[in-house]
């Protein structure tokens, strides 16, 4: 029994890409990149912590606030030390010390700080928001402590009142066991980003393949043996299979790296695997991710195939694909809206719209913000939209693939679709 035309094209597209050296290189680079993502930040953080950063404190309050601040400033980091300098030290001198890298910054406590004056920190690490937040807390605590002691409260009671409270964040929407908030966000965000990149890269491959065959006139010979809609479908399935195969390899490597990240970090001399646990993915989670990848890929690859059939050069293709790229960028920009409230109304709308649901729904589901009914609704809308887009793209593709010259107008496209 003869193979369907679309299957023949799909096998050719799959083998043509898998056999190239670039496929092997990119497939190997994926796990290397994952190792780099795990190791490089941890290694650089460890190296940074070895460097001692000096902060000088200019206390002009007359209440000896600097003593308490310099004692507690080590909370910011083991590599941060504070020194008290005379209150009449000129700021030009302090700026020179920053310039000469003798200190990282300096803190000025004004004379009216007890009456609502503003403390000012100037330094090369002023953009370190964690450092600034802790420093602000230390200053506030020191001011309150001095006011309390001046009001006659014993020092031991002041210390007890101002003692920091430890806090741990656990993520849940109430329908599942709590998990590490940081770990849940990482796994959800990583899934979103991988889906975005995979859909974009492999859909663009379809566009380039169509444009290359059209501009080289090879498509004229292919069309003589294969129907246009079979050629488009086979091309989409073949390139998508390559993406699915590559994603499967990367998924296995990612799972192994997450499981053995402590050992991987140990190989590079970095101790510790982080202060959070990354939730394990269940079989249903992986299945959902793959389904949304395939549906999203077909949705966008069909649009790219239609664009490739409409244009006559790579330059035109780059311009024509801009609206489709914007449709994919929008969900990435809105990722914080889903992560901050995965069960909210905005997240619900974004994960139903077919342009953004392939990227955002897996993330929302992994953050336990979507019920089975939400997934069913989102997937139904996406599959119906994908079927419509594939049909629409096939109508454009069968006419446009053999059309040369200027790009068609909207009226001409409408005529192609009706033909």
Q: How confident is the model at residue 14 (pLDDT cuts 50, 70, 90)?
A: confident
Instruction: Average the pLDDT over 232-244 and give the result.
Output: 83
The mean pLDDT value of the chain amounts to: 78
- The pLDDT assigned to 53 comes to 77
pLDDT over 70 (residue 147): yes
- The pLDDT assigned to 379 comes to 92
In contact, 60 and 72? CB cutoff 8 Å? no
pLDDT over 70 (residue 102): yes
pLDDT over 90 (residue 313): no
- The pLDDT assigned to 183 comes to 58
Of residues 376 and 84, the one with the higher pLDDT is 376
- The pLDDT assigned to 178 comes to 44
- The pLDDT assigned to 7 comes to 84
Rounded CA gap, 226 and 229, in Å?
8
- The pLDDT assigned to 332 comes to 85
- The pLDDT assigned to 25 comes to 85
Spacing of C-alpha 97 from chain mean position: 38
**% of the chain surpassing 90 pLDDT:** 5
- The pLDDT assigned to 148 comes to 75
Three-state DSSP state, 90: coil
Q: How confident is the model at residue 281 (pLDDT cuts 50, 70, 90)?
A: low
Q: How confident is the model at residue 163 (pLDDT cuts 50, 70, 90)?
A: low
- The pLDDT assigned to 68 comes to 67
Q: Which of 2-16, 176-190, 248-262 has the highest mean pLDDT?
A: 2-16
Instruction: Average the pLDDT over 193-200 and give the result.
Output: 79
In contact, 119 and 108? CB cutoff 8 Å? yes
Q: How confident is the model at residue 115 (pLDDT cuts 50, 70, 90)?
A: confident
pLDDT over 70 (residue 395): yes
Spans of all domains in the chain = 5-39+179-418, 51-164
- The pLDDT assigned to 66 comes to 73
Q: What angle do CA 25, 30, 34 make, to 5 degrees?
A: 145
pLDDT over 80 (residue 280): no
The dihedrals phi and psi of 108, each to the nearest 5 degrees, come to: -110, 120
- The pLDDT assigned to 380 comes to 94
pLDDT over 90 (residue 378): yes
- The pLDDT assigned to 165 comes to 65
Instruction: Average the pLDDT over 180-191 and give the result.
Output: 65
Q: How confident is the model at residue 277 (pLDDT cuts 50, 70, 90)?
A: low
Topology of the domain covering 51-164: D-Maltodextrin-Binding Protein; domain 2 (3.40.190)
pTM to 2 decimal places: 0.66
pLDDT over 80 (residue 70): no
- The pLDDT assigned to 57 comes to 86
Question: Among 305, 201, 302, which residue's Cα sits nearest to residue 247?
Answer: 201
- The pLDDT assigned to 385 comes to 92
Residue matched to tokens 């969900």: 331
Q: How confident is the model at residue 343 (pLDDT cuts 50, 70, 90)?
A: confident
Spacing of C-alpha 260 from chain mean position: 22
- The pLDDT assigned to 273 comes to 47
Instruction: Average the pLDDT over 371-375 and give the result.
Output: 89
Of residues 169 and 382, the one with the higher pLDDT is 382
In contact, 394 and 229? CB cutoff 8 Å? yes
């Amino acid at each position: 029994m003869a193979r369907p035309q679309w299957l023949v094209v799909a096998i050719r597209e799959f083998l043509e890409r898998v056999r190239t050296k670039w496929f092997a290189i990119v497939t190997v680079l994926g796990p290397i990149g994952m190792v780099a993502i795990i190791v490089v930040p941890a290694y650089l953080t460890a190296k940074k912590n070895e460097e001692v950063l000096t902060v000088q404190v200019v206390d002009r309050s007359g209440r000896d606030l600097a003593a308490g601040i310099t004692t507690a400033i080590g909370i910011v980091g083991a590599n941060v030390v504070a020194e008290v300098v005379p209150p009449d030290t000129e700021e030009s001198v302090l700026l020179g010390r920053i310039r000469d890298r003798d200190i990282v910054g300096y803190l000025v406590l004004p004379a009216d700080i007890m009456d609502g004056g503003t403390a000012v920190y100037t330094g090369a690490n002023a953009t370190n928001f964690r450092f600034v937040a802790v420093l602000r807390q230390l200053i506030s605590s020191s001011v309150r402590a001095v006011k309390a002691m001046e009001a006659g409260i014993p020092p031991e009671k002041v210390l007890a009142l101002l003692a920091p409270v430890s806090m741990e964040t656990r993520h849940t929407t109430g329908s599942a066991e709590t998990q590490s908030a940081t770990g849940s966000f990482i796994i959800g965000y990583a899934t979103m980003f991988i889906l975005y990149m995979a859909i974009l890269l492999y859909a663009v491959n379809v566009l380039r393949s169509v444009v290359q065959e059209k501009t080289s006139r090879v498509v004229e010979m292919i069309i003589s043996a294969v129907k246009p809609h079979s050629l488009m479908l086979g091309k989409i399935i073949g390139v998508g299979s390559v993406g699915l195969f590559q994603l499967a390899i990367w998924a296995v490597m990612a799972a192994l790296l997450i499981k053995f990240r402590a050992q991987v970090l140990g190989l590079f001399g970095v101790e510790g695997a982080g202060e959070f646990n990354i939730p394990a993915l269940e079989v249903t989670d992986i299945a959902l991710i793959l389904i949304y990848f395939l549906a999203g890929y077909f949705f966008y690859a069909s649009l790219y195939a239609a664009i490739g059939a409409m244009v006559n050069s790579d330059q035109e293709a780059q311009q024509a694909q801009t609206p489709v790229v914007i449709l994919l960028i929008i969900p990435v920009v809105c990722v914080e809206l889903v992560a901050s409230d995965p069960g909210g109304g905005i997240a619900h709308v974004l994960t139903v719209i077919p342009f953004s649901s392939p990227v955002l729904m897996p993330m929302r589901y992994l953050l336990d913000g979507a019920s089975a009914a939400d997934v069913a609704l989102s997937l139904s809308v996406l599959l119906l939209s994908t079927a419509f887009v594939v049909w629409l793209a096939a109508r454009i593709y069968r006419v446009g693939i053999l059309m040369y010259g200027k790009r068609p107008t909207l009226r001409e496209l409408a005529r192609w679709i009706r033909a």
